[in-house]
Structure 1
Amino acid sequence: MCEIKNVSCSEVAQNELKFAVYTTADFLKFMHQLNTPHRHNYYMILLNKKNHGSQLIDFKEFDIAPFSVTCLHLGQVHQWLNYESIEGYVLVFESDFFALRYQNYQLSEFSFLSYRHTQPYLTISEEKFNHIESIAVWMLREFNSIEVNFEKSLRSLLNIMLIDLNRLFEPANKNAEFSQSLQLIHHFEELIDKYYKEKHFVKDYASLLHVRPNYLNAICNEVTSSSAGDLIRNRILIEAKRLLIHEKKTASEIAYELGFVDNSYFGRFFKKYENYTPDGFKKKYLKN
């Protein structure tokens, strides 16, 4: 068995701040260590200015193009594939770092940092990239100077960068009602991530959220264009794939771990939504 390595923010940041910013040249040593599949317990933002590379994020290969932004959220399985020549900046941070200053303004405000945002990658104009880069350069200067109140400055700069990135990933204006819906979906996602191994039905989560299942489903369709059931199933399926490919567990072991009544039910569930049996998916993936 080859378990997925869980990488903590402190390993990469090498400090107790739960935050760090690097140039890609300085981050290269971590890339060498993380060129096998690993699971993040932190958020990561990659700003690439020059040259091309590639990376694997939860079974999808993404190009790292010039003037691109990649945002990884908690729990995603990531692997650097081709990274030696890219030039830019890497930020790593935990929600605790942000929350120390913005207790009532959580990272849930930024939908591109959540599971519902299926596209963690964006290519932007050179002008917009230069603006984001200027914030990263300022961060780097603060991070390396360790002057008085540098932590407060870094939190403020991170907030500004996240606001600007959110405008790029979610360009449409959101009214107050839609913002409330986003908050509900964020709490729903948090609960899914906590209980997906034991709770598989929309009614279970609706009860925890104190709303009716039909209402939760309607909000999910409005905000994510996916049903509440789809969000639950997608979380179960991505974990099943992780266990199948990266940890090389059998279908029976995965069925038990993910709370299915038996192996055959898990097999039918997997095939219905992936068009392959678990073993068939594994063979196809490894062949490719």
Structure 2
Amino acid sequence: MNEIKNIKCSEVTQNELKFAVYHTSDFLPFMQKLNIPHRHNYYMILLNEKNTGSQLIDFKESPIEPLSVTCMYNGQIHQWLDFDKIEGYILVFESDFFALRYQNYQLSEFSFLTYRHKQPYLKIAVEKFERLKSIAIWMLNEYKTNEADYEKSLRSLLNLLLIDLNRLFEPIPKNTEFSQSLQLVHHFEELIDKHYKQKHFVKEYASIMYIRPNYLNSVCNDVVNIAAGELIRNRILLEAKRLLIHEQKTVAEIAYELGFEDNSYFGRFFKKYENITPDAFKRKFINTSQFYQI
């Protein structure tokens, strides 16, 4: 088993802008190179207009259908499976590119770009796809012509695209009280993503946020219908599965990396929530050939 490759944004954008937009025909060489499991350090949005294909995103095969949108966030493990015939547009970017323009408006505001959405994928109506496509084409023109202030234009167009996508993924309007609660959950998720290897308990995050654990748990249940503790566990388990499948590390080494000093406790924790031991999970996916087309 080969170790997972970590792909930097600059390897795909081939620039220091931390952003690129491609027609899929121009992105094909990257797809051919990345048809093995790899970990993104960037966000990716695929707007597929015609034909079908498939890809692997964090252990699950995801279809690529006509008039569909697929969004991937930083840190996910990805593998292109069937991609030769798809036609559409691909955006790749780092959070820094967006944050330079919108300092107080982070990408975590868009829930479809967080780990809570395990596979944000939508098939959409023609008219809605055409609107997204028009923004992508505008971006592509700005990107290629490289005129004055094109970076500002690209950031503004990216923001427009993300707002449109958010309307599709989160169609219900939010009142002010709900929006404030949602921001709190987003902040909690950001802290989890930063500290999940060291902090495993709700009270630890509540302390950082200067709120009571019970209140944090209540808000999470109200906003996303998931308990605060479950959000933490889901992030730990997701990384555990990524490491078990794609890294040449023992279960004991993975347990230590994830903040479990006791290897047997990690084993019990994993089996409790996945109904399978870490070793059995690893064997199961090593024997699944689709994960290792190397």
Same fold, judged at TM 0.5 (above): yes
CA distance in 1 between counterparts of 2:18 and 2:209 reads 30
Contact 2:108 2:190 in 1 (8 A): no
CA distance in 2 between counterparts of 1:277 and 1:108 reads 32
Please name the residue that 1:217 is paired with: 217
Please name the residue that 2:102 is paired with: 102
Amino acid at match of 1:112: F
Please report the TM-score for the alignment, with normalisation by the length of structure 1: 0.97
CA distance in 2 between counterparts of 1:166 and 1:12 reads 25
Q: Which digits, 9 at most, give the CA deviation of each residue in 1:47-105, with x for residues without a partner?
A: 00111111111111100011110111111111111111100000011111112221222
CA distance in 1 between counterparts of 2:186 and 2:172 reads 18
User: What is the aligned-residue RMSD (CA, Å)?
Assistant: 1.2
SS of alignment partner, residue 78 of structure 2: strand
CA distance in 2 between counterparts of 1:233 and 1:182 reads 20
Where in structure 2 are the equivalents of 1:54-69 lying within 5 Å? Answer: 54-69=54-69
Please report the TM-score for the alignment, with normalisation by the length of structure 2: 0.95
Please name the residue that 1:52 is paired with: 52
Q: Which digits, 9 at most, give the CA deviation of each residue in 1:208-267, with x for residues without a partner?
A: 111110111111111221111111111111111111111142211111111112111111
Question: What is the total number of aligned residue pairs between the two structures?
Answer: 288
Deviation at 1:27, TM superposition (A): 0.4
Please name the residue that 2:145 is paired with: 145
- The runs of at least 4 aligned residues of structure 1 exceeding 4 Å deviation read none
CA distance in 2 between counterparts of 1:107 and 1:7 reads 20
CA distance in 2 between counterparts of 1:37 and 1:211 reads 40
SS of alignment partner, residue 101 of structure 1: coil
CA distance in 2 between counterparts of 1:79 and 1:209 reads 36
The answer to whether structure 1 residue 203 and structure 2 residue 203 are counterparts is yes
CA distance in 2 between counterparts of 1:139 and 1:257 reads 40
Please name the residue that 1:119 is paired with: 119
Please name the residue that 2:230 is paired with: 230
SS of alignment partner, residue 46 of structure 2: strand
SS of alignment partner, residue 17 of structure 2: coil
Deviation at 1:177, TM superposition (A): 1.5
Greater shift after overlay, 218-227 or 270-279?
A: 218-227
SS of alignment partner, residue 85 of structure 1: coil
Please name the residue that 1:135 is paired with: 135
CA distance in 2 between counterparts of 1:242 and 1:229 reads 20
Where in structure 2 are the equivalents of 1:157-196 lying within 5 Å? Answer: 157-196=157-196
Please name the residue that 2:291 is paired with: none
CA distance in 2 between counterparts of 1:63 and 1:191 reads 31
Deviation at 1:17, TM superposition (A): 1.1
CA distance in 1 between counterparts of 2:188 and 2:36 reads 31
Contact 2:244 2:254 in 1 (8 A): yes
CA distance in 2 between counterparts of 1:209 and 1:3 reads 36
Deviation at 1:119, TM superposition (A): 3.3
Q: Which digits, 9 at most, give the CA deviation of each residue in 1:168-199, with x for residues without a partner?
A: 00000011221111211121111111111111
CA distance in 1 between counterparts of 2:90 and 2:37 reads 18
Amino acid at match of 2:58: D
CA distance in 1 between counterparts of 2:12 and 2:108 reads 23
Deviation at 1:6, TM superposition (A): 1.4
CA distance in 2 between counterparts of 1:183 and 1:130 reads 30
